């Protein structure tokens, strides 16, 4: 795999234990890391991929500082003992929890995953990465089904009610398995010629499938297609997913939606799809999930979603913007014209 020349993993370590700090630096010495030691979370003044701290240094004030670190601190990593009791309010803001006795293995695993996602890859390597994701997930799902079957057999001796709960769990897991394995069709690099008319038809199909969801929350839905447009090369699976994600985002995050107007328009060398909405309130915290191929069923951390965002923007030449002006919200999808 060809590593990008400018790939640098930026790490800030809360240096409250010199021995652990030096152990981390030794483990990471062969990785493309830029490591900074800090004495306080407030010393982190610029972007970092990982903020690492140790359980022994935690107190109420420090926990609050860590929870409210700026957004440019991408991931928070806690190093602790196996039997440690992690404060409940801290757990939600953590991306990784590492047992001190397994520090070497798990820290390298995190770095390897980062490089795997952010390194430049050939087409074959991209496909191998997606296949690995599929195979690993299929393995985990199969293991869960095996365990649930064993649990069900054990529970049958005691309670029919508990058995029914396990059966419902199995049904949900199998649905997830079907959907997740179907993700292998979500390949970003393959593009096929589509006329702009095809894009408009695709949008209409998505709206038709989501008609009941939309009618339940929106007073007025307007679609204004433009059918006088040339051809582009793109991936209809990705566009459909993005459109559905955007609709789910709107339905989840907006309150008292009065109207949505959806329009398509050709501008210079790209197609512009506008979603203009009027509502009383909008929560922007889930906006990044537009790029999540499993949304709204799974909320992935931004670092992983960023992998999909990069592929969408790089290979499909698609970008998404949002504009907020009081109670008027606009999402804009731009797709460049392919040759």
Centre a 10 Å sphere on the Cβ of residue 161 and count the other Cβ atoms it contains: 8
Q: Are residues 133 and 101 in the same domain?
A: no
Q: Are residues 22 and 144 in the same domain?
A: no
Tokens of 174: 């199998």
- The last residue of a domain, from among 169, 185, 201: 185
Q: Which of 11-25, 61-75, 84-98, 185-199 has the lowest mean pLDDT?
A: 185-199
Closest CA to 78 of 61, 92, 101, 95: 95
Is it the case that residue 35 has pLDDT exceeding 90?
yes
Is it the case that residue 81 has pLDDT exceeding 70?
yes
Is it the case that residue 215 has pLDDT exceeding 50?
yes
Q: Are residues 128 and 206 in the same domain?
A: no
pLDDT at 172: 67
pLDDT at 189: 52
pLDDT at 159: 60
Q: Are residues 257 and 228 in the same domain?
A: yes
- What CATH number does residue 315 fall under? 3.30.565.10
Is it the case that residue 57 has pLDDT exceeding 90?
no
Let me know if residue 1 belongs to a domain. no
Q: Are residues 147 and 86 in the same domain?
A: no
In percent, the amount of the chain with pLDDT more than 90 equals: 14
- The last residue of a domain, from among 74, 92, 118: 118
Let me know if residue 4 belongs to a domain. no
pLDDT at 27: 93
Q: Which of 159-163, 202-206, 250-254, 316-320 has the lowest mean pLDDT?
A: 159-163
Let me know if residue 146 belongs to a domain. yes
Q: Are residues 20 and 94 in the same domain?
A: yes
pLDDT grade, residue 133 (50/70/90)? low
The mean pLDDT of the chain is 79
pLDDT at 229: 47
- Which residue do the tokens 């039997």 mark? 83
Q: Are residues 18 and 92 in the same domain?
A: yes
Looking at per-residue pLDDT, the higher value among 237 and 301 belongs to 237
**Three-class SS state of 339:** coil
Mind listing the pLDDT tens digit for each residue in 136-176? 666 667 766 776 676 667 666 666 666 666 676 677 677 66
Mean pLDDT computed over 30-49: 91
Q: Are residues 181 and 198 in the same domain?
A: no
Q: Are residues 97 and 157 in the same domain?
A: no
Looking at per-residue pLDDT, the higher value among 233 and 264 belongs to 264
Mean pLDDT computed over 123-143: 69
Let me know if residue 30 belongs to a domain. yes
- What CATH number does residue 61 fall under? 3.40.50.2300
Mean pLDDT computed over 36-53: 92
- The last residue of a domain, from among 133, 150, 185: 185
Let me know if residue 32 belongs to a domain. yes
Q: Are residues 86 and 110 in the same domain?
A: yes
Let me know if residue 140 belongs to a domain. yes
Q: Are residues 197 and 326 in the same domain?
A: yes
Mean pLDDT computed over 8-13: 93
Is it the case that residue 12 has pLDDT exceeding 90?
yes
Measure the CA–CA gap between 334 and 273, rounded to whole angstroms. 6
pLDDT at 233: 65
Q: Which of 181-185, 194-198, 200-204, 292-296 has the lowest mean pLDDT?
A: 181-185
Mind listing the pLDDT tens digit for each residue in 13-22? 998 888 889 9
Let me know if residue 2 belongs to a domain. no
- Return phi, psi of residue 83, to 5°: -95, 15
Whole-model pTM: value is 0.49
Let me know if residue 3 belongs to a domain. no
Tally of domains within the chain: 3
What range does the domain containing 224 cover?
Answer: 192-336
Beta strands in the chain (DSSP E): 9-14, 33-38, 48-54, 73-80, 96-99, 192-195, 218-224, 231-234, 254-255, 257-267, 270-278, 281-282, 318-325, 328-336
| Burial class of 144 by CB neighbour count within 10 A (0 to 12, 13 to 18, 19+) | middle
Q: Are residues 13 and 33 in the same domain?
A: yes
pLDDT at 178: 64
């Amino acid at each position: 795999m060809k590593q990008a020349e400018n790939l640098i993993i930026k790490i800030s370590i809360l240096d409250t234990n010199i021995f652990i700090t030096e152990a981390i630096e030794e483990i990471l010495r062969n990785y493309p890391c830029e490591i900074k030691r800090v004495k306080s979370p407030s010393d982190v003044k610029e972007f970092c991929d990982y903020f690492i701290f140790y359980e022994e240094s935690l107190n109420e004030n420090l926990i609050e500082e860590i929870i409210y670190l700026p957004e440019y601190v991408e991931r928070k990593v806690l190093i602790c003992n196996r039997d440690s009791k992690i404060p409940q309010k801290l757990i939600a803001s953590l991306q990784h929890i590492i047992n001190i006795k397994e520090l070497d293995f798990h820290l390298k695993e995190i770095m390897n995953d980062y490089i795997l996602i952010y390194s430049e890859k050939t087409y074959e390597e991209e496909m191998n990465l997606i296949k690995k994701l599929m195979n690993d997930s299929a393995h985990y799902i199969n293991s869960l089904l095996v365990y649930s079957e064993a649990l069900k057999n054990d529970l049958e001796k005691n309670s029919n009610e508990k058995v029914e709960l396990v059966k419902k769990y199995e049904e949900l897991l199998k649905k997830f398995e079907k959907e997740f394995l179907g993700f292998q069709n979500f390949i970003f690099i393959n593009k096929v010629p589509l006329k702009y008319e095809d894009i408009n038809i695709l949008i209409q199909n998505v709206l038709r499938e989501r008609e009941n969801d939309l009618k339940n929350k929106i007073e007025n839905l307007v679609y204004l297609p433009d059918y006088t447009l040339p051809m582009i090369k793109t991936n209809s699976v990705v566009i459909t997913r993005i459109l559905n994600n955007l609709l789910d985002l709107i339905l989840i995050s907006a309150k008292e939606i009065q109207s949505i107007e959806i329009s398509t328009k050709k501008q210079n060398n790209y197609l512009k799809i506008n979603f203009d909405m009027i509502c009383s309130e909008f929560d922007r915290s889930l906006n990044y999930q537009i790029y999540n191929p499993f949304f709204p069923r799974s909320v992935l951390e931004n670092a992983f979603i960023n992998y999909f965002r990069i592929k969408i923007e790089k290979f499909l030449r698609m970008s998404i913007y949002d504009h907020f002006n009081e109670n008027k919200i606009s999402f804009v999808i731009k797709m460049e014209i392919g040759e």
